[in-house]
């Protein structure tokens, strides 16, 4: 019986460890940008540049990551509540990288989103996760 209980605990710990949120990695993000890997899943921390703007039902948040890349976050307001950030705030982001000729950004920032987003995304700010 003790052996069975120990096995269940080991399995539960392994499952829990595999479901931890990804850690921020600005160097991997930078490598994805340089390689033009649009569609890559990225996680990074950064500083908000100015106040967000709204356009077409989306909140656009400009962020500078730790290595100096500037990215636009494309956050759909019909899928999540507004992220109350302002210039200078620190955030952590997980989503899908997109590279357009005019800009680099991250979308798929929600738990529920379009079929083109294979993983759930989120923005963490001040201890709260927005998704």
Q: Look at residue 15 and tell me if it is in a domain.
A: no
Q: Look at residue 6 and tell me if it is in a domain.
A: no
Q: Look at residue 14 and tell me if it is in a domain.
A: no
Q: Which pLDDT belongs to residue 7?
A: 45
Q: Look at residue 4 and tell me if it is in a domain.
A: no
Token pair in block for residue 41: 């899943």
- The whole domain housing 105 covers 22-130
Q: Indicate which CATH number applies to the domain containing 61.
A: 2.40.50.140
What does the alpha-carbon distance between residue 120 and residue 76 come to, in Å, rounded to a whole number? 13
Number of structural domains, the chain? Answer: 1
List the chain pLDDT tens, one digit each, 131 residues.
655 554 445 454 455 445 567 899 999 999 999 999 999 999 999 999 999 999 999 999 999 999 999 999 999 999 899 999 999 999 999 999 999 988 999 999 998 766 778 889 999 999 999 99
Q: Which pLDDT belongs to residue 101?
A: 87
Q: Look at residue 89 and tell me if it is in a domain.
A: yes
What does the alpha-carbon distance between residue 123 and residue 47 come to, in Å, rounded to a whole number? 12
Q: Look at residue 103 and tell me if it is in a domain.
A: yes
Q: Using CB atoms within 10 Å of the CB of residue 95, give its burial: 0 to 12 exposed, 13 to 18 middle, 19+ buried.
A: buried
């Amino acid at each position: 019986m003790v052996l069975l209980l120990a096995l269940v605990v080991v399995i539960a710990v392994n499952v829990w460890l595999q479901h931890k949120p990804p850690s921020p990695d600005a160097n991997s993000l930078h490598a994805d940008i340089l390689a033009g890997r649009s569609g890559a899943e990225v996680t990074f921390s950064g500083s908000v540049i100015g106040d967000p703007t709204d356009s077409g039902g989306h909140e656009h948040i400009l962020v500078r990551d730790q290595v100096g890349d500037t990215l636009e976050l494309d956050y759909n307001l019909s899928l999540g509540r507004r992220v109350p950030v302002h210039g200078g705030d620190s955030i952590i982001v997980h989503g899908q990288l997109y590279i357009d000729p005019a800009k680099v950004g991250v979308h798929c920032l929600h738990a529920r989103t379009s079929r083109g987003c294979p993983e759930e995304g989120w923005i963490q700010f001040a201890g709260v996760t927005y998704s």
